[in-house]
Every structure is written in structure tokens, then in C-alpha cells.
Amino acid sequence: MQYRTYGRTGVRVSALGFGAMRLPQDEDYAVEIIAKSLDLGVNYIDTAYVYGDGWSERMVGRAIKGRRDSVYIATKNPLNDATADGWWERMERSLKDLDTDHIDFYKVVHGMSWDAWENNFSKPGGGLEAALKAKEQGIISHIVISSHDSPENIIKLGDLGIFEGVLLQYNLLDRHNEEAIAHWHAKGLAIEVMGPVGGGRLGMSSERLQSLVPGVASTPELALRFVLANPGVTVAFSGMSNMEQVLENCAVAGRDEPLSGEEIEAINQALIDNQKLSELYCTGCGYCMPCPNGVGIPQVFSAMNMHRVWGLTEHAKARYGHLGPNHREGLLQADACVECGQCEPKCPQKIPIIEQLKESHAALSG
């Protein structure tokens, strides 16, 4: 296992962290796969107050029983209210569920935004006062955040001088946070990555992506190696839900050699070319909507791009399969199109929507 220094803290954490959001619902198996990752060198686990309403924290607590001193734990406090008392109560429940007396890297706000900082967390009598008190008492070792805010606002949060690390989104298909990563890294702060395999999108095989680097055995391997090759990344949390994922990810994180500069450049150029190709087909602008017959046109084409551009066919079929009468917005698959033609004049790219809807259904249905 590779280990990296967590910002300016001096703490050495495993390059692969265990993300406990997607644990299997079998309690014994959930504990078993966490424990196996620890046996293979993982020493950092990330969970959250809201994952399974405390269930994830309880599984982590069981898994680290008897080995707490060799494991670093992170959990997250949701910003349910603006009060210090409410924040403290949620922290205490996490401590109880984790069966521990301290939290090593506490995401003091789960999903911190600049607006939440200014108008909630940092207000007098708010969560920041409670967090600083908890750190002073040794309940929290390091104050961290997670964030889905814009890169510009993540950079502003890093400049506050309050936080020692940030958990943010970054992967092969989503690189919009690279500037924020570089900024935090230059300030000596730690960067934790969520979704290194694209929330499951890169967990499925793509020969097209694998061909970018000779010798890569799987798409998840390529995705994880790409994230870990970024010099600003401290740890990548993979939401592992079975033993096979644990074994593969630990093997990848145990490799000494990162991707070379030439390999990264080849990946970057291929991603640029593929993104241009993706935008040639559909940019997802939504001007074609609403469809009078309920077809989810942008959603259909987004799935089709996963298949046609990125070679992520199984994921594309799964995404397409979510469309139908039970879709949360009631959007339907492409075969619901009656060729009324209302969508095509609205498309700024002049895409032959009706023809491509037929093509998409033929490729992704069944």
C-alpha cells in the first residue's frame, strides 16, 4: 500500500481510503470487507452521519474494534441547523455509533458551500464554535470539510485558514476541480477524492478507455491510477461494496509506479477528443424539452454518449433502463417517441433527434 502525508499534519494515510457509503446490507459481510481492507494496508475510513441513518457508522465501529489505534476515522456532520448545540448533538451520536471517543478527520460540514459558511456555520453561536471547542477538547483531531461547491468557492474555503483538508469530486470523466486541487495542495492542505471511479460509471469495463494505457487490466484500475497520479491528491476514497472491489483496489493502490507523464498526456488528449465528440452528438442543453410525449431526450442521449463515446456500454444500458413510468420525473425511453417533430427545430446543433432516438433505443434497450 502507498502512504501519503496528510497536508501539514504529518499523519501518513493510505493512498486508498475505504468509502463506507455503499456498504452491503449484510452486516457481517460489511464488517468483513472493511476488515479485509485494513488487513491489506488501508488505514483511513470515511463514513457519514447520514449514511443509513447511522448504520454505516455502526458497521465501521464494529470493523475497527480492537484496532482503533491503527485506523484513522472520518465522518461528516450534516448542516441540519445553524446552532452549536445541534451540531454537538450530531457529533455525539456519531461518536456513539462509531464506538469511539474521538474522530481523527472530522468533516465538520457534510457538503460545505461558501453560502453555508457565510450564512450558517460561521455565524455566532453556530457550528464553527462547537467544532473549535471539540478540537480544543481533543474530540476532533483535524477539522476538514467535504464540498460539492464550485471550484472557485472551494478555493475560497481553502483560503480561510480553518480547514486542514477537503473531500471533493474528481475522476477521469469529471476533472472540473483540478484547479481547486492544485490550489489547496500549494497551500500545504490535504485533498481527499470522492468518486474516483465516477460513482460506478468507471466500475464497468470499457475497452476504449483501457486501451489508453498498455497493460491496464481493467477500467477501475485505470480510473484509480489516474486519480492517484495527481500530485495534489492525498487519498482516494472508493465506495467498496464487495470483496472483489477491495482486493482489486488494494492491489492497484499498492503499485509503486504511477502513470507516466506520457501516459497521462495520452489520456488527457483522448479525453479532450472524446469530449468534443460527445458534444458533437448532444451537449445536454435541454432546449428540446419538454417532449409532449414524455421522452427524456437529453437523458437518452447522455446514456448513448456513455456507450458511443466512452465505451461504457453496461453503465449506459443501466442508466437507460432507469427511464420509464417509474422514473422519478416520469421520463420515458426513446420508443415513446411518436415522431411529432417538435424537438428538432429547437436543437441548436441541428441533431436529427428522431433518427438518433431510434438508434439509441436499438443500442441500449433490452
Among residues 162, 142, 135, 180, which one has the least CA distance to residue 44? 142
Q: Tell me, yes or no, whether 232 and 179 share the same domain.
A: yes
pLDDT grade for 203, boundaries at 50, 70 and 90: low
Average pLDDT over residues 224-238: 92
Residues 193 and 336 in one domain: no
- The per-residue pLDDT for range 293-304, each reduced to its tens digit, is 999 999 999 888
> pTM for this one?
0.77
Total domain count, the chain: 2
Chain position carrying cell 461494496: 241
For residue range 95-142, list pLDDT tens digits in order. 999 999 999 999 999 999 999 999 999 999 999 999 999 999 999 999
Q: What is the mean pLDDT of residues 62-72?
A: 96
Inside any domain, residue 273 = no
- What domain range is 10 assigned to? 3-261
pLDDT at position 112? 95
Specify whether 226 is located in the same domain as 106: yes
Same structural domain, 319 and 217: no
Percent of the chain topping pLDDT 70 = 94
| Residue 137 DSSP symbol | T
Give the Cβ contact number of residue 261 at 10 Å: 9
Choose one of 261, 295, 319: the last residue of a domain. Answer: 261
Contact 251, 38 (CB under 8 A): no
CA dist 260 and 22 (Å) reads 31
